[in-house]
Structure 1
Amino acid sequence: MTGPRVHRLANGVRVVCDPLPGWQTVALSVVAGRGARFEDAAHSGWSHLLEHMVFKGAGGRSAKQIVEVIEAEGGHINAATGYERTSFQVRALKHGLDLGSSVISDLVLRPTMDAADLAREKQVVGQEIAEAADTPDDLVFELAQAAAFAGQPLGRPILGTVQSIKAATPQTLGAWRSALYAPETLVVSAAGAVDEDELLRLAERDFGAAAGEGLAAAEPAAFAGGTSTVAKRLEQANLVFLLPAVGVKDPDYFALRLLAEILGGGMASRLFQEAREARGLAYAIDAYSETYADTGILGVFAGCDAKDAGELAEVTAQQIRLLADPVGDVELSRGKAQLKGSMFMGRESALARAEQAAGQVLLFGETLDPEAVAAEVDTVTPGQIADLVAKILAPARSATAILGPKASLPAAERFEQALFGV
């Protein structure tokens, strides 16, 4: 089966076409390979603020008209800012590609940037920052991330701070836009009911004149580690444990994904069975991996009663240490099946396919064959996972965040003692 095809416009913009015969909808994703990781402290949150601002007016349309023109044709428009990329997405009926491309190009290249709109949007983002601070299961992740990558862009919240976004003006934010959405960082990706010739024509029309130099490459990240505990009157304690792992380009990437799956990826996982089913310590407990271009983390999140936090921390550490011994064939096979299942199920969404293709082009310069990826998952051995656990534990560094009643806070120390014997 022929996979997505990648093209490059003369100005460096890359175009990915993934036609799906018989589909009645199309998804368009325009992704810039830059995000919050490329900000210094003074510009913290500017990428997210910019993503908000372009929707206030662009290409002669007002904020209301931007949404109305898409929805009038049965479509939906959205955007998202991450650490390493910013994406704009339109989902539409099969004849909506022309309009979607036109609107997104206006957002990316021709936003109005009105001073009054900016003042109001700073207030909106300020409320978003306050809401995150008031939401325990958001705040605890920010605390853990800040401890893991202290003093680095990956350790700062994507939303920034009220102080950092306050400094932005229409002119300085406009200059930030030119660098953030520079043509060599842009990928125009469409999947579903899309014709390749039409997509290339629209990409040239709407993005072929984009110009400017992008932000410099991000500095390498280093896992610092540390503990962040905040006492707060809550019904439950919120716990996050992070360990240094590998990046998306590392040969052990799939071993990391399988490690997280086996540790706490589902109801059959070790943490779920031991912490929840066998001991009743937590209703919710999950393990996950977060990977960036050059580094990554293995994480565990749990919510529990304050009196159980210490024991839960020790159980988590014990289960991580046990994975230094090779896993059994049945457990590994189940992890592989779950990982491949989620990968192929995700590809049944046109938007997910368009986003995935854009991300792969940004990272690898090409799209990856799903069957080849699945085959690579199948090559992971028990020994490879055990070796990765040893590598993760070797620095004896973790980042722990505890948010909840005072009685839960010693769980941070109990986790480190159980994991590293210190």
Structure 2
Amino acid sequence: MSDIRITTLPNGLRVVTRAMPGLHSASIGVWVGAGGRDERPEQNGVAHFLEHMAFKGTARRTALQIAETIEDVGGYINAYTSRDVTAYYARVLSADVPLALDVIGDILLNSTFDPREIEVERGVILQEIGQSLDTPDDVIFDWLQEAAYPDQPMGRTILGPAERVAGFARDDLSRFVAEHYGPGQMIVAAAGAVDHDRVVAQAGEIFGHLAPVIGTTREAARWQGAESRRVKRLEQAHFALGFEGPGYRSPDFYPAQIWTAALGGGMSSRLFQKIREERGLCYTIFAQSGFHDDTGMTTIYAGTSGDQVADLAQLTIDELRRSADDLSEAEVARARAQLKAGLLMGLESPSSQAERMARSLAIWGRVPDPAEVAARIDAVTAADVRDHAARAIAAARPALALYGPVRKAPALDILAERLAA
């Protein structure tokens, strides 16, 4: 897009903005290219802990003052940690963009990691871990990830195990920052009522003094595929099936998304129609795609009764096999339309724009024009999607996670044999 501007500071920090005329607000943040998969085993959970601690006080502001500074002007500030990225961002009115970037820079560069606050936040994170374990349709995806990528950073939970979180100290947080929070790992992204030159100037004032860091080499993901089954008395049996997918830079990036959307991207999708609407075996069923630099995963999730989980699993496998043979032009056209609509709707949101620009710049070193992306989506044919589906289900052993009354669920080996039949 012609209104997207990118500047790289001398120390390697990149700034990307998109001015959106007619808006009175903006979204601005810093995306750091370090997340859960950059942790060593003994660090598991520290990236997420660090994200929490960023809001617990700096040399200039207390935790309350951080919140009040943004909320006093009607803004919103938050952060998240993923396996690849940690992001710190705010949504404010146009006049308060400099204030928001100042606060974000402050929490990134000047956090004190007060030992008393570490103990308080440790309790908060342990509660978060406990809440996740009490949420079956949340924790099952962690178990699926672990089954797909066992004994490696890609398979570890982002929150970390409670026993690790219980032991983190100030030095653990400082060490992770020193290893990964260099200017070359940071992208400042802003969209909405913003002025590029002013954002660049302020970013230089805040971050320009930072020296580059070498960091550590990210361990490549190795898909293995395994089964994780936890039997527990619950109302529903939770079923999650994963297939290795392409990475961001793969030629299959768009066919994989279209296949996923056709399978379980909405009420008209195959899995929804066949398993919920025709058979009534579940209330919720969907498919989704996840992507990383070097790997990806196509995931199918459903919740059903313990007595029906076997039927649901077998029908899911059958629909996957059929999709490689007879996915229709109409289904692919519908999936393409869904992807393009999601892209274009996101262009109307400053928050979505900032996120998209930061991620695109990190992955491809540029921000593809929406027209280019739409053309790539339109270029994918039904034959392309069927071919991708056939290769995806034949390439590697799937991963399977089961939770709840799942004694009657078929074993992964049985499902894999049915898939290959």
Shorter chain as denominator, the TM-score bin is over 0.9
Q: Which residue of 1 aligns with 2:171?
A: 171
Q: Which residue of 1 aligns with 2:312?
A: 312
Q: Which residue of 1 aligns with 2:26?
A: 26
Q: Which residue of 2 aligns with 1:131?
A: 131
Q: Which amino acid aligns with 1:80?
A: Y
Q: Distance in 2 between matches of 1:172 and 1:269?
A: 46
Consecutive unaligned residues of structure 2, counting only runs of 5 or more, are none
Q: Which residue of 1 aligns with 2:42?
A: 42
Counting only pairs closer than 5 Å after superposition, residues 265-304 of structure 1 correspond to structure 2 as 265-304=265-304
Q: Which residue of 2 aligns with 1:361?
A: 361
Structure 2 length normalisation: TM-score?
0.97
Greater displacement, 253-262 / 394-403: 394-403
Q: Which residue of 1 aligns with 2:84?
A: 84
Q: How many residues align structurally?
A: 421
Residue 217 of structure 1: how far off its partner (Å): 3.3
Q: What secondary structure, in the 3-state scheme, does the structure 2 residue paired with 1:95 have?
A: helix
Q: Distance in 2 between matches of 1:414 and 1:238?
A: 18
**What's the CA shift string for 1:302-335, capped at 9, x where partnerless?**
0111111101001111111112125222111111
Q: What secondary structure, in the 3-state scheme, does the structure 2 residue paired with 1:11 have?
A: coil
Q: Which residue of 2 aligns with 1:201?
A: 201
Q: Which residue of 1 aligns with 2:400?
A: 400
Cα pair 1:231 1:409 within 8 Å, conserved: no
Q: Distance in 2 between matches of 1:88 and 1:408?
A: 44
Structure 1 length normalisation: TM-score?
0.97
Cα pair 2:145 2:156 within 8 Å, conserved: yes
Q: Distance in 1 between matches of 2:233 and 2:195?
A: 56
Q: Which residue of 1 aligns with 2:389?
A: 389
Q: Which amino acid aligns with 1:142?
A: D
Greater displacement, 250-259 / 347-356: 347-356
Q: What secondary structure, in the 3-state scheme, does the structure 1 residue paired with 2:95 have?
A: coil
Residue 168 of structure 1: how far off its partner (Å): 2.4
Instruction: Percent identity, please.
Output: 38
Q: Which residue of 2 aligns with 1:420?
A: 420
Q: Distance in 2 between matches of 1:41 and 1:254?
A: 33
Q: Distance in 2 between matches of 1:361 and 1:214?
A: 19
Greater displacement, 165-174 / 407-416: 407-416
Q: Distance in 2 between matches of 1:215 and 1:381?
A: 41
Q: Which residue of 2 aligns with 1:160?
A: 160
Q: Which residue of 1 aligns with 2:186?
A: 186
Cα pair 2:244 2:392 within 8 Å, conserved: yes
Q: Distance in 2 between matches of 1:408 and 1:369?
A: 49
Consecutive unaligned residues of structure 1, counting only runs of 5 or more, are none
Q: Which residue of 2 aligns with 1:52?
A: 52
Q: Which residue of 2 aligns with 1:115?
A: 115
Cα pair 1:261 1:269 within 8 Å, conserved: yes
Residue 411 of structure 1: how far off its partner (Å): 6.1
Residue 256 of structure 1: how far off its partner (Å): 0.2
**What's the CA shift string for 1:197-222, capped at 9, x where partnerless?**
21111111111122341422312111
Q: Which amino acid aligns with 2:366?
A: E
Cα pair 1:285 1:301 within 8 Å, conserved: yes
Cα pair 2:179 2:216 within 8 Å, conserved: no
Residue 414 of structure 1: how far off its partner (Å): 4.8
Q: Which residue of 1 aligns with 2:256?
A: 256
Q: Which residue of 2 aligns with 1:95?
A: 95
Q: What secondary structure, in the 3-state scheme, does the structure 1 residue paired with 2:15 have?
A: strand
Q: Distance in 2 between matches of 1:273 and 1:257?
A: 19
Q: Distance in 1 between matches of 2:148 and 2:107?
A: 34
Q: What secondary structure, in the 3-state scheme, does the structure 1 residue paired with 2:205 have?
A: helix
Cα pair 2:399 2:412 within 8 Å, conserved: no
Cα pair 1:402 1:408 within 8 Å, conserved: no
Q: Distance in 2 between matches of 1:183 and 1:39?
A: 19
Q: Distance in 2 between matches of 1:59 and 1:409?
A: 55
Residue 408 of structure 1: how far off its partner (Å): 4.1
Q: Distance in 1 between matches of 2:47 and 2:370?
A: 31
Q: What secondary structure, in the 3-state scheme, does the structure 2 residue paired with 1:120 have?
A: helix
Residue 3 of structure 1: how far off its partner (Å): 3.4
Q: Which amino acid aligns with 2:276?
A: R
Cα pair 1:313 1:414 within 8 Å, conserved: no
**What's the CA shift string for 1:131-160, capped at 9, x where partnerless?**
111111112111111000001111100001
Q: Distance in 2 between matches of 1:261 and 1:210?
A: 43
Say whether residues 1:243 and 2:243 are aligned partners.
yes
Residue 127 of structure 1: how far off its partner (Å): 1.4
Q: Distance in 1 between matches of 2:101 and 2:239?
A: 42
Q: Which amino acid aligns with 2:21?
A: P
Cα pair 1:309 1:411 within 8 Å, conserved: no
